[in-house]
Amino acid sequence: MIEILNVNKSFKNTDVLTDVNLTIQDNEVFGLVGPSGVGKSTLLNCLIGLEKYQSGSICIDGVRLEELNELKIRKFRKNMGMIFQNFSLIGRKDIFHNISLPMECWNYSKTDIKNRVEELAELIGIQDKLKNRPSELSGGQKQRVAIARALTMNPRYLLCDECTSSLDPKSTSSILELLKSLQEQFQITIIVVTHEMAVVQNLCNKMAILESGKVSLSGDVQEIFKEKPEQLRTLLGEDERMVSITLDVAELAKVKEYLDTQGTNYKITGGY
Ligand code: ADP
C-alpha cells in the first residue's frame, strides 16, 4: 500500500507538488491524470526515490522513503518496476541483454538470468526477438521488452509513465490487455500516469486528477466517469479534437465501433 501524506516538492523557487495526499491500495490499477506539466512524473519520481521532496511523507508497505539512505533506497527500488513513453531501451544491446540489465546490476548468476529472461520473454510474447536489437522491433514490441525488464526483479509495483502515448491504437490496446493480464496473474499494483482518458477508463479502477500540483479529485473510475464532475469535464474538454475525414458507411461503422471500445466521447458532424 502506498500512502502519500502532505507531500510538497519544488524545484528551486517553483512549487510543483503542493500538499499532495493520496492512498493507493494493493492490487489497484491507479490512474494519475492531468494536463502536461502538472507534476505527474515528478510524483512518480518521488515514489521511486529518484526525487526528494521538501516536506511530507511517502510510506510504501510501512517504509517511510524519506528515512532511507541511498543504499536502502536502491534496494527498495527492486520493488518498483517502471516503464516509460520512450521505452528507454539500450540500442547497442540485444533484447535479451536489455531485459537482463537489472539482474546483471544485482549480480545474479548467468543461469538465473537466462532462466528468468526466457520465462519473461515467453510470458510477454517476445521469445523470438531475444537476439534482435531494439531498432528491429515495433513500438508495441519495444514496450513489451520494457515491461519484461521492469518485471525481472518481481516488483510489487509497476509504474507506467505515459507508456502508450507513442503507440498506435492497436498496439495501445494490446499493451493495455497485457498490463491487465499481468495484474490479474501476479497481483501487481499498477500506477499509470497518462493524459489519455481512454487509457484510464479502459485500464484503471481508481484515479486521481492533478491540477496545478494538487489533487483536485480522486476516487473510483467508473463512478467518476458516470458522474462527470467538473474536474473530469475540463480534462475531457482538453481531449477534444476536430478531425475531418471522408468515409463510406461501412468504414464509418468500423470507426464508431472502435471509438466505442475505447470509451472515447465523440460527435459526428457533416454530410451522410
Ligand atoms: P507532468 O508529468 O505532469 O507533465 P512533470 O512532473 O514532468 O509534469 O513536471 C512538472 C513541472 O516541474 C514542470 O513545470 C517541469 O518543468 C518541472 N520540472 C520537472 N523536473 C524538473 C527538474 N529536474 N528541474 C526543474 N524543473 C523540473
Q: Residues 188, 52, 151, CA angle at the centre, nearest 5°?
A: 25
Tell me, using a 6 A CB cutoff, whether residue 17 lines ligand 1.
no
Tell me, using a 6 A CB cutoff, whether residue 9 lines ligand 1.
no
Stretch 180-185: mean pLDDT: 94
Assigned domain for 46 exists: yes
Across all residues in the chain, what is the average pLDDT? 91
Instruction: Quote the cell numbers at residue 265.
Output: 466521447
Stretch 103-126: mean pLDDT: 96
Q: Is the pLDDT of residue 272 over 60?
A: no
Strand 2-11 relative to strand 14-24, pairing: antiparallel
Stretch 252-265: mean pLDDT: 79
pLDDT (tens digit per residue) in 32-59: 999 888 999 999 999 999 999 999 999 9
Assigned domain for 42 exists: yes
Instruction: Quote the cell numbers at residue 166.
Output: 507513442
pLDDT (tens digit per residue) in 230-245: 889 888 875 555 667 7
Tell me, using a 6 A CB cutoff, whether residue 69 lines ligand 1.
no
Using the mean position of ligand 1's atoms as its centre, give its distance from the Cα of residue 34 in Å: 13
Assigned domain for 111 exists: yes
Instruction: Quote the cell numbers at residue 137.
Output: 522491433
Residue 271's pLDDT is 62
Name the residue with the closest Cα to ligand 1, atom 19: 42
Tell me, using a 6 A CB cutoff, whether residue 16 lines ligand 1.
yes
The letter for the amino acid at 67 is E
Give me the helices (H) in the chain, please: 40-47, 70-76, 95-105, 110-124, 139-151, 169-186, 197-203, 221-227, 230-239, 249-262
The letter for the amino acid at 47 is L
Secondary structure in 3-state letters for 11-29: ECCEEEEEEEEEEECCCCE
Residue 250's pLDDT is 85
Assigned domain for 84 exists: yes
Assigned domain for 268 exists: no
Is residue 35 within 8 Å of residue 237, measured between CB atoms?
Answer: no
CA–CA distance, 154 with 167 (Å, rounded to integer) = 25
Using the mean position of ligand 1's atoms as its centre, give its distance from the Cα of residue 41 in Å: 7
Which of 169, 80, 98 has its CA nearest to residue 136? 98
Residue 240's pLDDT is 55
Tell me, using a 6 A CB cutoff, whether residue 20 lines ligand 1.
no
Assigned domain for 221 exists: yes
Assigned domain for 20 exists: yes
Domain count, the chain: 1
CA–CA distance, 190 with 55 (Å, rounded to integer) = 25
Q: Which pTM value belongs to this model?
A: 0.85
In which domain, by residue range, is 135 found? 2-262
Tell which atom from ligand 1 comes closest to the C-alpha of 161: 2
CA–CA distance, 186 with 127 (Å, rounded to integer) = 20
Stretch 119-128: mean pLDDT: 95
Assigned domain for 267 exists: no
Residue 152's pLDDT is 96
pLDDT (tens digit per residue) in 72-111: 999 999 999 999 989 999 999 999 999 999 999 999 999 9
CATH number at 213 reads 3.40.50.300
Using the mean position of ligand 1's atoms as its centre, give its distance from the Cα of residue 211 in Å: 13
